[in-house]
Amino acid sequence: MSIFITGGAGYIGSHTCVELLEAGYDIVVADNYVNSCPEALERVKKITGRDFKYYECDIRDRSALDKIFKENSIEAVIHFAGLKAVGESCQKPLEYYDNNIGGTLVLLDVMRSNGCKKIVFSSSATVYGSENKVPFVETMKTGTTTNPYGTTKLYIEGILKDMYLADNEWSVVLLRYFNPVGAHKSGLIGENPNGIPNNLMPYITQVSVGKREKLYINGNDYPTKDGTCIRDYIHVVDLAIGHIKAVEHIMKKTGVDIYNLGTGIGYSVLDVVETFKRANNIDIPYEIVGRRAGDIAECYANADKALKELGWKAEKNLEDMCRDAMNWQSKNPNGYGN
């Protein structure tokens, strides 16, 4: 029996493949490489010394997906495949709804027709919106997302809840990720953004290797300790291990369970810059510029539920994240392209 991983060549997917293989699971991967490349999966094989099947497949392609289910014995799915750029989603809402929601609908239909009703879904802290108070708890009201990307996560959460209401044989875990950063300690896999990074850590690592001149910090006039935004950065390997716990959970029970995957600790942008400098003994020049539209001042998790019910807790600290992110970037200055 295998775990089917959609979007497994991506940043979080590739790290999760490593942890699953190392925990002894068999896996099958599908990815259309819209934001990744097969080399990431080859490196997963190299790290783990294990072989597995992967398919170039768009999850909206019903017959291709069905063929994968027929060719393999799939027990459960971890569903990472999706588009994730907030700014782009505002320019291309239809593409985001089509890919993320349309893709999920096809996947769920193919799962159902093949008798597979266990799924772990990559949701996001973005569903907490801007009206809740930190730390965010799973029971808080959602529904105030401010961009199509975030709204796709919210709708997919709703679709999965409805699937269970209609058929209580489904077993669903919704994982709300906070800010995944860092890389596998080997430096063989990591985050590989296209073009200018939108997110903080990949921007810092590109400054650190001289690909960008300096970091632009988006605002220092927020109501926080140093005026810069607070986020809950979580090492991608800790996050990946959270998925193993979620898979164990869906094997045991039906229902819909929601878990925050964060450390529960908030760090400011300046905290990240200072820790990165210290961990890597390198300077990161920066300039303070205006606020970025849509940013909230503070976002961090209450991570108690995942500890209590899944026995999962993030183990790595911000220094580990900064060191491992730098290790990946310096060994692969051009991502998987070198």
Question: Toward ligand NAD, which CB reaches closer, 32 or 169?
Answer: 32
Q: Which is nearer to ligand UD1, 143 or 311 (CB)?
A: 143
All residues at 6 or more sequence positions from 254 whose CB lies less than 8 Å from its CB, including other chains:
117, 164, 168, 169, 170, 171
* DSSP helix/strand/coil, 6: strand
Q: Kindly state whether residue 263 participates in binding ligand NAD, applying the rule CB under 6 A.
A: no
> Looking only at residues 130 through 189 of this chain, which bind ligand UD1 when binding is defined by CB under 6 A?
150, 179
**From the list ligand UD1, ligand NAD, none, partner contacted by residue 200 (C-beta under 5 to 8 A by kind):** ligand UD1
Question: Rounded to whole angstroms, how far apart are CA atoms 254 and 250?
Answer: 7
The answer to whether residue 270 forms part of the interface with ligand UD1 (CB under 6 A) is no
What is 81-146 written as a DSSP string? -S---HHHHHH-HHHHIIIIIIHHHHHHHHHHHTT--EEEEEEEGGGGTTTSPSSB-TTS------
Give the type of residue at 274: E
Q: Which does 21 bind (CB under 5 to 8 A by kind): ligand NAD, ligand UD1, none?
A: none
- CB nearer ligand NAD, residue 82 or residue 129: 82
Chosen residue from 47, 59, 125, 273 binding ligand UD1 by CB under 6 A: 125
Gyration radius of the chain's alpha carbons: 19
Of 17-25, 57-65, 212-220, 227-235, the window that binds ligand NAD (rule: CB under 6 A) is 57-65
128 classed as catalytic: no
- Binding part of the chain for ligand NAD, among 52-60, 137-145, 215-223, 249-257 by CB under 6 A, reads 52-60
Closest approach of ligand UD1 to the CB of residue 295, in Å: 5
Torsion sign (Cα): 305, 306, 311, 313 = negative
Q: Treating both helix axes as pointing N-terminal to C-terminal, what angle do 62-71 and 103-113 enclose, rounded to 10 degrees?
A: 40
Q: Does 10 bind ligand NAD (CB under 6 A)?
A: yes
**By C-beta, is 35 or 171 nearer to ligand UD1?**
35
Strand runs labelled E in the chain: 2-6, 26-31, 53-56, 74-79, 118-124, 171-177, 179-181, 215-218, 230-231, 233-235, 255-261, 267-268, 286-289, 298-299
| Residue 216, binding choice from ligand NAD, ligand UD1, none, Cβ under 5 to 8 Å by partner class | ligand UD1
Query: How does DSSP classify residue 291?
Result: P
Decide: helix, strand or coil at residue 190. Answer: coil
Residues of this chain, 312-331, that bind ligand NAD according to CB under 6 A: none
- Chain positions contacting ligand NAD, by CB under 6 A: 6-7, 9-13, 30-36, 58-60, 80-84, 99, 103, 122, 124, 177, 180
- Which residues are at the interface with ligand UD1 (CB under 6 A)? 86, 124-126, 150, 179, 198-200, 203, 215-218, 229, 231, 269, 292, 294-295, 299
Active site residues: 149
